[in-house]
Amino acid sequence: MLCCHPAIPRSLHCSLSKFLISLVKCGRTDLLILLGLLMALSAGWWTCIAICLQAQKWMYGGLDSNVFLQYLAWVTYPVVLITFSAGFTQILAPQAVGSGIPEMKTILRGVVLKEYLTFKTFVAKVIGLTCALGSGMPLGKEGPFVHIASLCAALLSKFMSLFGGIYENESRNIEMLAAACAVGVGCCFAAPIGGVLFSIEVTSTFFAVRNYWRGFFAATFSAFIFRVLAVWNRDEETITALFKTRFRLDFPFDLQELPAFAVIGIASGFGGALFVYLNRLIVQFIRKQKAINRFLMKKRLLYPALVTLLVSTLTFPPGFGQFMAGKLTQKESLVTLLDNRTWAKQGIAEEFDYIGHSQAWKHPQVNVFVTLVLFIVMKVG
């Protein structure tokens, strides 16, 4: 029946080429691939941050003859980095301050925020974020990554519009920005599905489903290149998850463990709500204190420096930090926490093999559970 139809081969060929052209034109797959590639190449940038983090440990380790000098090195380093980060951003592009997600939400709804997606902001954000993350403070990088990916997308669109034609469409740029939000998180954790879900949750009230495949495409490409780079770099043997779990395949978890998981989930939910609530209270309190407020507005660098001083004092390994694995960087502590080794038996912490980084969790006098609770309160809270 089908073979007798003379129009099929030509129309099939025609619709195939039409399909490919429209894929590039409407989908702007070229830009999506470029965006994914660019964000994945930020893997090289991770190395910078890792070096910054190592530098602090190296200074701390080298001065082990004098505890006071050790403390000074441990505290000065992040304070200097954070202050530089805050100052640099303030001078070059104040738009780069903060996480960036609220602003991206605003832009995606069609409001034009002046100077928010310029090259100057890009430079300020990248250098500011490098210093801030390199200081080892417990900071989230999802928000800034979403902003950086959006900056990349906007700059790419602007650059391509120099060639005219299909790249000049303004409404297409919003679609690119929506994809960029997914790429930001997808590349940050090498988790494209999580990235897309995050971008759906966070950026819109009504998510345009036509942007869904764009986000997936760019985020998957980005995460893929990110992990392939790790293989080429000889960090990994093959493509694997960034933070691996080691559940057994045949018996991933016991049914009796599930209530515990549920309790963790509920507690985390309420903990998160409490955090938001307390944060709002503190902000409102500070806003009411006109004097403090005016002082902080004038000396913009003082507040971050003070907070950094406090946090780094608390995590100082020979001091309070010994009770909360203060030595570990954020990535190291995540790796040890996702490790499938037993630290306790029937609710009682015993002498188990703490190999490698997990030794930081062990303390001669203090139970591992106390260490974990302190860690959660300090680093997560």
Please, are residues 168 and 161 in contact by the beta-carbon 8 Å criterion?
yes
Return the residue of 24, 276, 282, 344 that touches its own copies, per CB under 8 A. Answer: 282
Helix or strand or coil: residue 345? strand
Beta-carbon-side half-sphere exposure of residue 136 (alpha carbons within 13 Å): 28
Tokens representing 142? 């999802």
Specify the stretch interacting with its own copies by CB under 8 A; choose among 92-100, 123-131, 241-249, 304-312: 241-249
Question: Binding segment for its own copies among 100-108, 145-153, 162-170, 270-278 (CB under 8 A)?
Answer: 270-278
Closest CA to 186 of 149, 234, 158: 149
Residue 181: both structure tokens together? 């939000």
Per-residue contact string for residues 213-232; x = within reach of its own copies by CB under 8 A: ---------------x--x-
> What DSSP element (H or E) covers 364?
none
Q: Shortest Cβ distance from residue 332 to its own copies (Å)? A: 20
Least Cβ distance, residue 248 to its own copies (angstroms): 9
Q: Is 246 in the site for its own copies (CB under 8 A)?
A: yes
110 makes contact with its own copies (CB under 8 A): no
**Coil, strand, or helix at residue 349?**
strand
**Minimum CB separation from its own copies for residue 89, in Å?**
28
Q: Residues 151, 121: contact at Cβ < 8 Å?
A: yes
Contact call for residues 139 and 132 (beta carbons, < 8 A): yes
Per CB under 8 A, does 255 bind its own copies? yes
Nearest Cα residue to 28 out of 172, 198, 210, 230? 172
Residue 37 makes CB contacts below 8 A (sequence gap 6+) with 221, 222, 225
Q: How far is it, in rounded angstroms, from Cα 329 to Cα 335?
A: 10
Query: Binding-site residue total for its own copies (CB under 8 A)?
Result: 41
Give the nearest distance from C-beta 209 to its own copies in angstroms.
6
Rounded Cα–Cα distance for residues 203 and 1 (Å): 50
Give the distance from CA 14 to its chain's centroid: 44
Helix (H) / strand (E) containing 344: strand 344-345
Query: What DSSP character marks residue 348?
Result: E
Query: What's the min distance (Å) between Cβ of 120 and its own copies?
Result: 32
Query: Contact with its own copies (CB under 8 A): which of 24, 111, 166, 258?
Result: 258
Binding-site member from 3, 5, 114, 164 for its own copies (CB under 8 A):
5
CB of 263: closest distance to its own copies in angstroms? 15
Q: From the list 207, 303, 320, 352, which residue makes contact with its own copies (rule: CB under 8 A)?
A: 207
Contact letters (x/-) for its own copies, 7-46, by CB under 8 A? -x---x--x---x---------------------------
Residue 204 binds its own copies, judged by CB under 8 A: yes
Integer Cα distance of 37 and 93 in angstroms: 26
Q: Does 277 bind its own copies (CB under 8 A)?
A: yes
- Contact between 1 and its own copies (CB under 8 A)? yes
> Measured from the CB atom, is 207 or 354 closer to its own copies?
207
Binding pattern for the stretch 285-304 against its own copies, x by CB under 8 A and - elsewhere: x-------------------
- Options 42-50, 86-94, 145-153, 202-210: segment touching its own copies (CB under 8 A): 202-210
Q: β-strands 348-349, 344-345: how paired?
A: antiparallel
Handedness of CA 146, 148, 152, 157 (dihedral sign): positive
Q: In the complex, which residues of this chain contact its own copies (CB under 8 A)?
A: 1-2, 5, 8, 12, 15, 19, 193, 197, 200-201, 204-210, 212, 228, 231, 237-240, 244, 246, 249-255, 258, 273, 277-278, 281-282, 285
